[in-house]
A and B are shown apart, each in its own frame.
Chain A
Amino acid sequence: MNTSPFAALARYGIVWVTLALFVVLAITTDGFLTGPNLRNVLDQQATLLIAASVATLTMIAGGFDVSISAVAVAAPLVALRVENATGSVALALLAGCAFGLVVGTVNGSVVSFAKINSFITTLATSFIVFGIGFLVSDRSILRPKSENYRDIARTRVADLTTATWISLGVVAIAWVTLSATRFGRHVYATGGNIEAAKLAGIRTGRIIVLVFALSGLAAGLAGVVASSRAISATPSDDFSFVFGVIAAIVVGGTSIAGGTGAVWRTLLGALFIAFMVNGFNLHQIDPIWQRIIQGVVILVAVAADAWSRSRRT
C-alpha cells in the first residue's frame, strides 16, 4: 500500500494542493504572483508560523496547547511594561519570551506530573494568563516608549521584514529539532506510543514538559512580534489565534492523535490557508463565504487523516 502511487499522492497531499493552489492563483489573478503580494503574505503569516511550527512538536508529542492565544496576548503586555520601565527593547523581548516559557513550563508540569488532560490544563491556564494580561496592562492599551520597539518586526533585510526572517528562523530551528535531534525522536516516540517510549528508556515526563515549555516560549515570541508590528498591545481574552495555529498544523497533515507529522507540513499548511485567504480577497469573495470554505477545508484535512489511519491494521 505504501508503495502504490496513490499512497504517495495521499502522503504528500498538502504539497500537491498547495502547489496547485499557487499555480491556479498565479494564472487566474494578476495580483498574486507579484513580489509585494507574496512578501505581504509571508509578513502576515509570521506570527502564526512562529507559534505553529513549535506547537507542531507539542501536537506530535500527544499534547494540545490552547494557551498559545493567552500567552500571545499577555506576553507583549509584559514586554511593553518592561520596555516602558527600562527603555530597553532587548530586555522587553527577553521578558516577553521568558513569560511564555514560564507559562509553558507550568502547563507541561501540570500535564506531565498531575496527569491532567492537556487540553483542559491549557484551557484553564489560558484564563489565568488572560487575567494576568489585564492585571499587567491595567486594562489599557500599552504602547512602546522608544521608536526602536517597532524595529523588532518591521526592519527590512533583503526585501523581507524581520518578522518574516524571525518566523523563517523559528521554522528552521523547529524543523531541525524535530527531524535531526535525539529530542525530536523522543517527541515522536512519546506521542506515537508512550508505553513503548518508556520501555525504550525515554523520560517521557520530561519530554512533555519540554514541548509545552517551548510552545509557550514560541507563543510569547509571536506575541511580541505581533505587538511590534502593531506598535501596541491590547489586553483581551480572544482565543482566535490558537485556532489559526491548530488549523495550520492539522491542514498540513500532522495528526492530532500524536506520533506523526512534521514542521514542513505546518509551514505548508499555513501557506495553503494564507494563499487561500489571499486568493479569496483577490477574487473578491465575500468574507462570510471565506469562513465557511475554510471550515470545510479543515474538516477535509482531518477526515483524510482519520481515513488513512482507519485503513491500517
Chain B
Amino acid sequence: MADSANHVELRGISKRFGTTQAVDDASLAVERGSIHGLVGENGAGKSTIGKIISGVYTADRGSLLVNGRLESFRTPRQAFDAGITTIAQELSLLKDRSVADNVFCGVEAARFGFMSRRGTQRRFASLTSSTGIQLDPAPTAGSLSVAEQQLVEILRAAARGAEFVIMDEPSARLSGTERDQLHRLLREMRERGTTVLLISHFLQEVLDLSDAVTVMRDGRIVRTSNAETETADTLIEAMIGRQLAGNYPPKAMPAQPGQPQQGEPPALRVRGLRRPGLGAQRGLDLDVCSGEIVGLAGLVGAGRTEFVRAVYGADPITEGEIQIAGEPLARPHARALRRPQWRSRLRPTRAIRRGLGLIPESRRDQGLLPDRSLRENISLPHLSRTTKAGIVSRRAERNLVVAAAAGAEVRGGGLETPVHLLSGGNQQKSLFARWMVPGLKVLIADEPTRGVDVGSKRSIYDLIASASGNGLAVLIVSSELEELIGLCHRIVVMRAGQFVAEFSHPDLDEAEILRQAFGGEPTPPSDRQTAEKQ
C-alpha cells in the first residue's frame, strides 16, 4: 500500500446514463483528514461522483484509488469494507426500529446469530463517548427530528469504522441551529482524522468548512482549489459558461412580455398561493400571458415542482387564488363561505377542463401508462370529449389523437404501440401530444427534456416555441438553466419556497440568476419543518 496523502483519488472517471454523460473524464484527489467541498449546478455530476466512490455506480472508464490502492467497487458493501460510507440527502433509516438497531444495522453485536443486548449497549455507549454525539438508543428512528436522524446516520457511519464520509446535501433540511451543530460535528470528525467529501448547494457553508473546493460543470471538473482563495462569486463564475448543447429556436416575442393584451386577463394568474413549504413569508403571485414562455429557475428543493403541482390542483393549497383566462379554478364564492376548506379542493379535473395541462417531472412515475397504447396515453385526460353515454367513440378519439400526435411529432411507432416500446424522446413527446388538443390555454412542463437525447431536445424546444407562437401560455420548470435562458421570455427564480427575482429577455444573465438561486445562506423558514412533520 502506497503511503499516500490522498485518501481517495479519481483518475479520468467517466460515467454515462443512456444519452447523458453524467461524469466526463473527472480527476479529483481528496486529501486524508480534510473536508473537501464539491459544488456545481443541478445535474453537474456531483452526486454521481459520490455514488461512484461509494460503490453505488461503477464508472465506465477511469480508475478509483483508495489509500493509494486501485479499487473497483461493484456494491456499496465493498466500499463500506474499504471504510467509505455515504450520508445521503434522503436518509435511509428503518423508521420503526430503535436508534441502536439502526446504528448497528448490518454490524450487529451477535453471538451465533443471537442478538447480544448487553454487547449492543456497551458498543453504543462507547460510540457516543468517542463521537461526542449524545442520543438515546431506545426510541424509534421515525420519532426523531430530521437533525437527530442525521446524527443516527453519522453514528452508523462511525459504527462501521468509516474513515471516508460522503455527505450529500447534509444541511438542506436543517434549521439554523441544527446546521451549526452539524458544522461543529464535521469539524470534530476532521480533528479525529476522518475525511469528509461535502456535496452542498450552500456555497457559504462549503467555504466555511472546507479545506479544498472542487467545482463541477457538465460532468467535468472545472477546478480544485484551496477554499481560502475562493468566494461565493468566484465559485459561481466557475459553474457557469456551460456549452450550449442544443441550439434553440428563435424567440418570437409576445407584444409585451408579462403584460397581457389590453382588456384581456392573463392566461394564468396566481395570487397569494400558499401551502406548507411554499410562500411562507409572502403568498406567491405569478402571471403568464398567452404567447409567453416563462421559466422557473432554482435549486433542487426550492419548491418549483411543489408550486406547479399546487397550481394544477395535484396538491392542496392552504391559501390563494388561481385563474385561467380570468376564470377562477375553484368553486363560486357562495359555496366557499359555507366550506372554508374549498380552496384545498382543487383537482386536476377542473384544471384540465379550463384548459390547463401539466407535464410532470417524471414521465415514468407520473406521466405514462407504460403498458397501454400511444392512443390511450394521449387521449386519457380528454376522454370526456370523445365519450357519448359512457362509450368512447373510437372515431372521435382517433381524430383527436391523430391531430395531437402529429402536432407533437411523435415517431417510432403507430398509435397502437405500447408506449414503453418508444424511445425516451418519443415518450416525452407523447406527453406533449397529450396536451396538443384544442382549447388548451396554459401548459406547465416540469423538466420537459429530462433524459431525452439531443435531437429530441431540439424538437421539444421547437414544439414549445411554436405552441407559444400560436398563443399558448407556457410555464417551464427546468434544472438546466441554459435551457431556460435559451427558451424563455421571462425567468422567475425560486429559493426556499419564495419567488426571489425575475429576469426578462434579453437580460437573462446566467451568473445573476445563479447568484439569486444560491442566495448565500438560505433563511431557515420555521414552517418548513412543520411541513416536514405532516
A180 to B386, CA, bound (A): 11
* B19–chain A nearest beta-carbon distance, Å: 14
**At the interface, yes or no: B133 with Cβ under 8 Å from chain A?**
no
Chain B interface extent, by class: 20 to 34
Query: How far, in whole Å, are A201 and B347 apart by their CA atoms in the complex?
Result: 7
User: Among B371, B380, B383, which residue has its beta carbon within 8 angstroms of that of A259?
Assistant: B371
B312, B353, B366, B384: most-surrounded residue (chain A CB, <10 A): B366
Within 8 A of B (CB), among A158-192: 180-183, 185-186, 188-189, 192
Q: Would you give the 0/1 interface string for A1-34, flagging 1 where the beta carbon is closer than 8 Å to chain B?
A: 1100000000000000000000000000000000
Contact of B380 among A195, A200, A203, A260 (CB under 8 A): A200
Q: Does B365 contact A (CB under 8 A)?
A: yes
Chain A residue with Cβ nearest B376:
A185
User: In this complex, what residue of B is CB-closest to A259?
Assistant: B371
Question: How far apart are the CA atoms of A203 and B345 in the complex, in Å?
Answer: 13
Does A181 lie within 8 Å of B390, measured CB to CB? Answer: yes
B372 proximal to A (CB < 8 A): yes
B314 in contact (CB, < 8 A) = yes
Inter-subunit contact B391/A189 (CB<8 Å)? no
How many angstroms between the C-alpha atoms of A154 and B525 in the bound complex?
73
> Which residues in B have their C-beta under 8 angstroms from that of A1?
421
A201 and B371 CA atoms in complex are apart in Å by: 19
In the complex, are the beta carbons of B369 and A203 less than 8 A apart? no
CB distance from B9 to the nearest CB of A (A): 34
Q: In this assembly, does B349 line the interface, its C-beta being within 8 Å of a C-beta of chain A?
A: yes
A259 touches B369 (CB 8 A): yes
What CA separation (Å) do A193 and B434 show in the bound complex?
A: 16
Inter-chain CB contacts under 8 Å: number: 83
Q: Which of the residues B352, B365, B370, B387 comes within 8 Å of A195, measured between beta carbons? A: B365
Tell me if B372 and A192 are in contact (CB < 8 A). yes
The smallest beta-carbon distance between A195 and chain B, in angstroms, is 5
When the two chains form their complex, are residues B420 and A182 in contact, meaning their CB atoms are under 8 A apart? no
Contact A182 B421 (CB under 8 A): no
Question: Cβ of B387 and Cβ of A201 under 8 Å apart?
Answer: no
The interface bits of chain B over 416-427 (1 if a CB of A lies within 8 angstroms of the residue's CB, else 0) are: 011011000000
Is A293 part of the contact surface with B, judged by Cβ < 8 Å?
no
- A258-294 near B? 1/0 per residue, CB < 8 Å: 0110000000000000000000000000000000000
Q: Are A188 and B314 neighbours in the complex by a CB distance under 8 Å?
A: no
Residues of B close to A188: CB separation below 8 A: 369, 372, 376
Contact of A201 among B349, B372, B421 (CB under 8 A): B349
With a cutoff of 8 Å between Cβ atoms, the chain A residues found around residue B391 in the complex are 180-182
Q: Residue B392 at the A interface, CB < 8 A?
A: yes
Central interface residue in A181, A198, A199, A260, by most chain B CB within 10 Å: A199
Shortest CB-to-CB span from B500 to chain A, Å, is 28
Chain A residues whose CB sits within 8 angstroms of the CB of B369 once the complex forms: 188-189, 192-193, 196-197, 259
Residue of B nearest to A179 (CB): B392
Q: Which residues of A contact B368 (CB under 8 A)?
A: 193, 196
B382: min CB distance to chain A, Å: 9
Residue of B nearest to A180 (CB): B391
Among A181, A186, A201, residue most surrounded by chain B Cβ atoms (within 10 Å): A201
Shortest CB distance A194–B (Å): 10
* B366 & A312 in contact (Cβ 8 Å cutoff): no
Is the CB of A313 closer than 8 A to any CB of chain B? Answer: yes
Assess the A193–B380 pair: CB atoms within 8 A: no
Q: Which residues of chain A have C-beta atoms less than 8 A from B348's C-beta?
A: 198-201
- Is A2 within 8 A of B417, CB to CB? yes
- Is B358's CB within 8 Å of the partner chain A? yes
Q: Are A182 and B383 within 8 A (Cβ)?
A: yes
Within 8 A of B (CB), among A222-276: 259-260
Size of the chain A interface, CB-CB below 8 angstroms: 25
Are A183 and B314 within 8 A (Cβ)? Answer: no
* Cβ-defined partner of A198 (8 Å) among B314, B384, B392, B418: B314
Residues on the A chain within 8 Å of B219, using CB: none
Within the complex, which residue of B367, B372, B387 is in contact with A182, where a contact is CB–CB below 8 Å?
A: B387
CB distance from A110 to the nearest CB of B (A): 22
**Which of A181, A192, A195 contacts B371 (CB under 8 A)?**
A192
* A residues in contact with B372, CB < 8 Å: 188-189, 192, 259-260
Chain B residues with Cβ under 8 A from A181's Cβ?
Answer: 387, 390-392
Closest residue of chain B to A1 (Cβ to Cβ) is B421
Task: Name the A residues within 8 Å of B312 (CB-CB).
Answer: 199
Contact residues in A for B390 (Cβ distance below 8 Å): 181-183
Chain A nearest CB from B391 CB (Å) reads 5
Q: How far is the CB of A203 from chain B (nearest CB, A)?
A: 7
* Nearest Cβ on chain A to B398's Cβ, whole angstroms: 14
Question: Would you call B381 an interface residue if the criterion is a C-beta within 8 Å of the partner chain's C-beta atoms?
Answer: yes
Determine whether B55 belongs to the interface, using a CB cutoff of 8 Å to chain A.
Answer: no
Q: Known contacts A198-B314, A199-B360, A200-B348; is A185 also within 8 Å of B380 by CB?
A: yes
Question: Which B431-483 residues sit within 8 Å CB-CB of chain A?
Answer: 434
B232 to chain A minimum Cβ distance, whole angstroms, is: 38
CB pair A2 B421 closer than 8 Å: yes
Contact between B365 and A189, CB atoms less than 8 A apart = no
Interface centre among A183, A197, A200, A203 (most CB of B within 10 A): A200
Q: In whole angstroms, how far apart are the Cα atoms of A88 and B347 in the complex?
A: 46
Bound: A49/B240 CA distance, A? 65
Minimal beta-carbon separation of B355 from chain A (angstroms)? 12
Find chain B residues with CB under 8 A from A186 CB. Answer: 383
Contact present for A189 and B380 (CB under 8 Å): yes
What is the distance, in angstroms, from A183's C-beta to the closest C-beta of chain B?
A: 7
On whether A312 and B383 interact (CB within 8 A), knowing A182-B392, A260-B371, the answer reads no
A158 to B420 CA separation, bound complex (whole angstroms):
46
Q: Are A199 and B347 in contact (CB under 8 A)?
A: no
Question: By the criterion CB–CB under 8 Å, are B370 and A193 in contact?
Answer: yes
Query: How distant is the Cα of A259 from the Cα of B420 in the complex, in angstroms?
Result: 13
Closest to B417 in A: A2
B80 to chain A, nearest CB (A): 29
Within 8 A of B (CB), among A125-181: 180-181
CB-nearest residue of chain B to A313: B420
Tell me if A200 and B381 are in contact (CB < 8 A).
Answer: yes
State A150–B352 Cα separation when bound (angstroms).
52
Kindly identify, within residues 380 to 433 of chain B, every residue whose CB is under 8 Å from any CB belonging to chain A: 380-381, 383-384, 387, 390-392, 417-418, 420-421
- A313, B434: Cα distance in complex, Å: 22
> Which chain B residues (309-324) contact chain A, with CB distance < 8 Å?
312, 314
Q: Which residues of A contact B380 (CB under 8 A)?
A: 185, 189, 197, 200, 202
List A residues 200-229 near B (Cβ within 8 Å). 200-203
When C-beta atoms are compared, the residue in chain A nearest to B380 turns out to be A200
User: How long is the Cα–Cα vector from A260 to B420 in the complex, in angstroms?
Assistant: 13
- Tell whether, in the assembled complex, residue A196 and residue B367 are in contact, meaning their CB atoms are under 8 Å apart: yes
Residues 338 to 383 of chain B near chain A (Cβ within 8 Å): 347-349, 351-353, 358, 360, 365-372, 376, 379-381, 383
* In the bound complex, CA of A226 to CA of B367 (Å): 44
Residues of the A chain whose Cβ atoms lie less than 8 Å from the Cβ of B421: 1-2
Which residue of chain B lies nearest to A184 when distances are taken between CB atoms in the complex?
B392
Distance to closest chain B CB from A280 (angstroms): 34
Question: Could you list 13 A-B pairs, sorted by A, with CB under 8 Å?
Answer: A2-B417, A182-B390, A186-B383, A189-B369, A192-B371, A192-B372, A193-B365, A195-B365, A199-B360, A200-B381, A202-B349, A259-B369, A313-B420
Known: A199-B314, A203-B349. 11 other contacts (CB 8 A): A2-B418, A2-B421, A182-B387, A185-B376, A185-B380, A185-B392, A188-B376, A192-B372, A193-B367, A201-B347, A259-B371
Q: Which 7 A-B pairs have the closest CB atoms?
A: A192-B369, A201-B349, A200-B381, A201-B348, A182-B387, A200-B380, A201-B352
